Structure 1
């Protein structure tokens, strides 16, 4: 199985267009220890030719241009993307669908009923796409039932319900239902190896910890270092936990949990522009390194 990190940043990317925090200002000043990041998305393939896109970020056009296997190569208009999986209805994970509206047939999109409801009501992207080629929706179960996707050779997908937060425009905001947020176990039947992918994670429940412990690689929410990171930077008074993200540094946080796992390779994704781990020379990055926890970057390749 081949995994390509198309985008490793959180919503807004890095630098965020209207942000002058230390990280964003440093990147604009060409600090060599900072690297730009587009908004969170990965793509996965079992054969190197047909790719399943996980989340369609607003930066999808640039991400496709950065990765030739997704580009047209077989006829005048086509793509290596065979289908799209959406893990939640957040803007940074679904807006790219509008950029992909010129596909030559309806997109095969896999998501839960809760996400489908968001995409047809509060944020009606699926409705808009009906004015173009449309959407062929495949309902994803929240009962952790493995399923396959046509052309995704040798790959098996299992959606894993997560406790996080629904989008601001969702009827489930502050009252989430199963399926508002899911992670994924992606298994290669040839190698027997699997990835656990969860770009948005608010609570590590027992079933989630089991998936993480049994994975060969974990690609997981790295949004913030501290729960009060936004207020520390004078941006807003929202806690990360209120936005559906578990921070890295607190007791019971992402770092402590990952450090206790023996089997998987541990990688953070969906990293907010305020997070000090973006600075490769920061003390926080050194702490992660000492725990064998990696920070993903745009263009990172993972082979399982």
Structure 2
């Protein structure tokens, strides 16, 4: 099984067009080592021939063009088989519109996410005016075969973050995905958004080989401290890396071969290759994803 990080940043990318934080300035000016990054999306395949996306970011066209394995060899027979959504956030779903040239598109999403995208902002109605969309309902706890030796199980990731769309504007629906290579039994977990690592979430991490985990903010007060937002990381629906109860503290001792932070906000100092925060994360055995990071989950 091969997992490719197409985009490693949170919404807005790095640099973000309206931001002059230290990381965004470093990329623009070249004053410190900091790579540009596109918005969060992951591609996964069991055979290097059929591929599935976890989320479709607004940068999806450029991400696919930078990934030869996901491009057609001839004609328009694309290796891309479908898209799995973790939630209804625009930075995870807006790229669906950029896939409108497809002959058809298979979309895996929970009923709540599908309803949000189908009604309030009419994203799916717009997409379906260009290509047929086949919706496959994601039901947490059910094993789903994707074909060619790849399957997934979705699981609930509790959040208090309120949905911007939908009929009631209540807390949104977020899921993580545990992918399994059916030939080897080895698994990779994609968890690009997590507010709390509950017992149920932790159970899905058990004996996985690769973990792609939400790394939005390094510290809980990161955005308010920089004067860029009033909400903390947790209030925005993202567990910070550091501090009591942070993901570093909770996950450092888990025996997972590859623990990789994705969905990195432009304010996160770990994006700076020479920062003390970056050194601390790596010292604890975690990696910081870049666009194009690949992980081979071997038998």
Aligned length: 296
1:155 corresponds to 2:154 = no
The CA RMSD over aligned residues, in Å, is 1.3
Asked if the contact 1:214–1:264 (Cα under 8 Å) also holds between the matched residues in 2, the reply is no
Match runs of 1:24-173 below 5 Å: 24-31=24-31, 33-75=33-75, 77-104=76-103, 106-142=104-140, 144-149=141-146, 152-164=147-159, 165-171=161-167, 173=169
Residue 229 (structure 1) shift: 1.0
Residue 270 of structure 2 corresponds to 277
Residue 58 (structure 1) shift: 0.1
**C-alpha distance in 2, partners of 1:22/1:172?**
38
Q: For residues 237-292 of structure 1, what are the alpha-carbon distances to aligned partners after superposition, in whole Å with 9 as ceiling and x for unaligned?
A: 01111111000102111111111212342110000000000001100011111100
**C-alpha distance in 2, partners of 1:163/1:100?**
29
Structure 1 unaligned residues grouped into runs of 5+: none
Q: 4+ runs of 1 displaced by more than 6 Å?
A: none
Structure 2 unaligned residues grouped into runs of 5+: none
Asked if the contact 2:207–2:255 (Cα under 8 Å) also holds between the matched residues in 1, the reply is no
Asked if the contact 1:199–1:269 (Cα under 8 Å) also holds between the matched residues in 2, the reply is yes
Residue 208 (structure 1) shift: 0.7
Residue 230 of structure 2 corresponds to 237
Asked if the contact 2:163–2:170 (Cα under 8 Å) also holds between the matched residues in 1, the reply is no
Asked if the contact 2:211–2:256 (Cα under 8 Å) also holds between the matched residues in 1, the reply is no
Match runs of 1:243-254 below 5 Å: 243-254=236-247
**Paired residue secondary structure (2:281):** helix
Residue 16 of structure 2 corresponds to 16
TM, length-normalised to structure 1? 0.94
